[in-house]
Amino acid sequence: MKNKTYDILPGQSVELLKELHILTREGQMNQDSRRKLKQVYHLFQFIEPLLQDVVQDEAHINLVDHGAGKSYLGFILYDLFFRERAREGCIWGIETRDELVSRSQELAQRLEFPGMRFLNLSVADSITSPELPARIDIVTALHACDTATDDAIRFALAKEARHIVLVPCCQAEVAATLRRNKGAALGKSALTELWRHPIHTREFGSHLTNVLRCLQLEAHGYQLNVTELVGWEHSMKNELIIASRRNKPQRRAAERLTALLEATGLEELAARFFLPAELQAQP
- Segments of the chain scoring below 70 in pLDDT: 1-6, 146, 185-187, 230-237, 281-283
Domain finish residue from 170, 187, 208 = 170
Q: Do residues 47 and 143 both lie within one domain? A: yes
Is 280 contained in some domain?
A: no
Domain that holds residue 257: 171-221+233-272
Tell me what pLDDT residue 29 has: 83
Q: Do residues 16 and 150 both lie within one domain? A: yes
Is 279 contained in some domain?
A: no
CA 151, chain centre distance (Å): 10
Is 94 contained in some domain?
A: yes
- CA 52 to CA 85: how far, in whole Å? 9
Task: Give the pLDDT confidence of 58-71 residue by residue, as tens digits.
Answer: 889 999 999 999 99
Q: Which residues pair with 90 in a beta bridge?
A: 62
CATH of the domain at 71: 3.40.50.150
Q: Do residues 125 and 144 both lie within one domain? A: yes
Q: Do residues 153 and 251 both lie within one domain? A: no
Domain finish residue from 170, 185, 209 = 170
Q: Do residues 97 and 66 both lie within one domain? A: yes
Task: State the sign of the Cα–Cα–Cα–Cα dihedral 6, 30, 15, 75.
Answer: positive
Q: Which residues pair with 231 in a beta bridge?
A: none
Q: Do residues 160 and 210 both lie within one domain? A: no
Q: Do residues 144 and 259 both lie within one domain? A: no
Is 177 contained in some domain?
A: yes
Task: Give the pLDDT confidence of 110-119 residue by residue, as tens digits.
Answer: 999 999 999 9
Q: Enter the pTM of the model.
A: 0.92
CA 140, chain centre distance (Å): 4
Q: Do residues 61 and 87 both lie within one domain? A: yes
- CA 57 to CA 120: how far, in whole Å? 30
Tell me what pLDDT residue 3 has: 42
What is the number of other CB atoms lying within 10 angstroms of the CB of residue 5? 10
Number of domains in the chain: 2
